[in-house]
Chain A
Amino acid sequence: MKADKTTVWKKSYTWVLVANAIYIMVFCLIMEMFS
């Protein structure tokens, strides 16, 4: 049960990091379009 909970959180945090990375990249690409 505890291991399952940890796995769920690990997965959620991975998604948090991926989502962060994606939107930061989108922001950067928009800015770079004008540079």
Chain B
Amino acid sequence: MQQIDWIVLSATLLFIVVYGVWKTKGSKNVEDYILGNNETPWWTVGLSVMATQASAITFLSTPGQAYHDGMGFVQFYFGLPIAMVVICYTFIPIYHKLKVFTAYEYLEQRFDLKTRSLAAGLFLFQRGLGTGLTIYAPAIILSALLGWNLTIMNIAIGVLVIIYTFAGGTKAVNVTQKQQMFVIMTGMFVTFFLILHLLPNDMTFSNAMHIAGANHKMDVVDFSFDPETRYTFWSGITGGFFLALSYFGTDQSQVGRYLSGKSVKESQMGLIMNGFLKVPMQFFILLIGVMVFVFFQFNPVPLNFNPNNKVAVEHSKYKKEYHILEDKLDKLSEEKKEINLIYIDHLNQNYDNPILRKELVALSSKENDLRDEARELISKADNKAETNDKDYVFIHFILNYLPKGLIGLLLAVILSAAMSSTASGINALASTTAIDIYKRNVKGEKSDKHFVNATKFFTLIWGIIAILFACVGTLFENLIQLVNIIGSIFYGTVLGIFLVGFYIKYVKAKAIFWGAVMSQLTIFYIYYLDVVSFLWLNFIGAMLTIFLSVTLQIVMKNDKIEA
């Protein structure tokens, strides 16, 4: 990192924080602080929803995912536009009509306090852990590569977010997310064109796409029913749909964004905008990863992109074997480079040589074998090491090949993304704690100012909890997996409660509460038995809640008739 990078990074982040505080200072009432006074236009709602979902891991992991497995991951987002339409058609009009501050407030009006508290409690537990992770995940990767102190990074990201979220509430989150999305998209576009510029001179964009295609990186849609394949068209349309429905429809960090819309229509337009732009955005981020792959067909590539893994092997008895593998990879890279250059030459003469394509596939397969052998050595050297290096591919490229100044901008992209999702998380946790727990249980008449101060206080507390959780993140093995599992375990039940509330008027409070409790316990048991991938727990949880609550309602009604 050069001085210019530090200037770009600090100036970008400080500008966002100062602008957020200055633009939104002095919230007078709860409506202003939690709902942004319902003044947000649709495009700010849309950008805010997108920025909330786009965490730092999106920009670190997704290009790495494309580098290793190609464009197929985009299928996971195919169900998202359908979920947006369902939310616009059903969820938003009800939330607006009831003038709720949080999604869970609706549940008391439809069912009872017990059900509201259950859903709010499940949200607080799950989002409380998740928000800590949005700080920890980029911090651990950047500290590994740049040698920065992990604790200081966690505290710095957390404090910057707390400053403006505390000062301006929802309005500050929305305003800063516009700037953050601008920084993110500028950084990603500049990087994309720079990668193309760094490719060999006689290589066109079309040639680069052909090279990616020859290495099976451009296979987007997979219609197979193979349960071993995680991302298929079918899992995207079903699993992706249910995940998007629960995340955008019932998670307060997202509901809070569109509840601040000027009107029902503005909130709906914001979500439709998200539905339209999310898939192209993911296509674009994955395409950057694919272009990084093409770039490394002509440049030296490490055996494992995580520098900590190399350090672990270097300090073990497997050092020599690892060096042998590195030499083999260097020779293979040279061979690949030569064949790729001949392949480009043929492409420039309008001939897509099938023999060379086959050779490229064979060389890629050899490279993958070498990487697998390297992973085995890393595991032998340190059995706790995370050998999957996809989170480190893009950042390795940024730090080693981008020019001065641009490294600072790209780090600002990653930290902006971390800050935007952390801010939404803290803001939602504080709103839910203040409205669904504190306001609902506090005795006596309290002024509006009192509840603004209470929400501010909870913002500070949740911010500190998120930082503390990020600081002890290293104590947990595979933290990302842990938080994803926790999300899948709880999201389904919460979604089931909301779906019953919206669509099955027949089911009443007692049936939904006990149906949800039984469904949650069953999900715990299914997870314990380990019979399905955790990605399906969300769908199963929602269906179980619906089925059990309807059954209980029928049984209870029959009991009443017999009595």
Contact = CB atoms under 8 A, between A and B. Distances in A.
B272 A34 contact: no
Contacts of B218: 31-32, 34-35
A32 B221 contact: yes
Interface string B216-237: 1011110000000000000000
A17 B283 contact: no
A10 B86 CA distance: 11
A7 interface: no
B525 interface: no
A24 B279 contact: yes
The majority secondary structure among interface residues of chain B is helix
A17 B206 CA distance: 30
Contacts of B78: 24
Contacts of A32: 218-221
Interface residues of B, number: 23
B162 to A, nearest CB: 37
Contact of A35 (B81, B216, B280): B216
B280 A17 contact: no
Contacts of A9: 89
Contact of B209 (A24, A27, A34): A34
B456 interface: no
B409 interface: no
B212 A34 contact: yes
B280 A27 contact: yes
A34 to B, nearest CB: 4
Interface in A1-35: 9-10, 13, 16-17, 19-20, 23-24, 27-28, 31-32, 34-35
A31 B213 CA distance: 8
A35 B361 CA distance: 12
B221 A27 contact: no
A31 B220 contact: yes
Nearest to A21: B81
25 contacts: A13-B85, A16-B85, A16-B272, A16-B275, A17-B81, A17-B82, A17-B85, A20-B275, A20-B276, A20-B279, A23-B279, A23-B280, A28-B220, A31-B71, A31-B219, A32-B218, A32-B220, A34-B209, A34-B210, A34-B212, A34-B213, A34-B218, A35-B213, A35-B218, A35-B219
Interface of B: 71, 78, 81-82, 85, 88-89, 206, 209-210, 212-213, 216, 218-221, 272, 275-276, 279-280, 283
